[in-house]
């Protein structure tokens, strides 16, 4: 599992990094669980750690953990929708070829 990226501000609070937006702003989950855009210069430290370690050591709040989990589920659904759209837009011969290749991979995995 990918480590969680946290940014610490001057008040010793940790923010869960989500994405970099532009040159100097990042999207983060703040301790109250809200998603906000903030200037990267407001932080004094960047650390990475597994999410369970961040929870155990109280680096993140329950509200942050819940929002992060919700965010990951939503992103997974978006990625799934993109893959489905990509498949639907493929010519039918390419769809068949891809399905045949996936079926072969599946069969090899079953043995």
List pLDDT tens digits, range 9-54.
999 999 999 988 888 899 999 999 999 999 999 999 999 999 899 9
* Cβ atoms < 10 Å from Cβ of 8: 15
CA atoms within 13 A on the CB side of 27: 9
Q: How far are the Cα atoms of 11, 68, 83, 99 from residue 105, in angstroms, in the given order?
A: 52, 33, 18, 10
The pTM for the full model equals 0.69
Quick check: 14 and 24 in contact, CB under 8 A?
no
Per domain, the residue ranges of the chain are 4-110
């Amino acid at each position: 599992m990918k480590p969680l990226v946290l940014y610490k501000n001057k008040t010793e609070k940790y923010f869960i990094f989500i994405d970099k937006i532009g040159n100097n702003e990042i999207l983060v989950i703040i301790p109250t669980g809200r998603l906000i855009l903030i200037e990267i210069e407001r932080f004094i430290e960047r650390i990475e750690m597994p999410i369970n370690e961040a929870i155990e050591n109280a680096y993140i709040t329950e509200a942050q953990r819940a929002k992060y989990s919700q965010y990951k589920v939503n992103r997974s659904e978006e990625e799934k929708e993109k893959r489905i759209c990509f498949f639907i837009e493929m010519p039918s011969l390419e769809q068949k070829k891809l399905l045949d290749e996936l079926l072969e991979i599946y069969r090899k995995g079953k043995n």
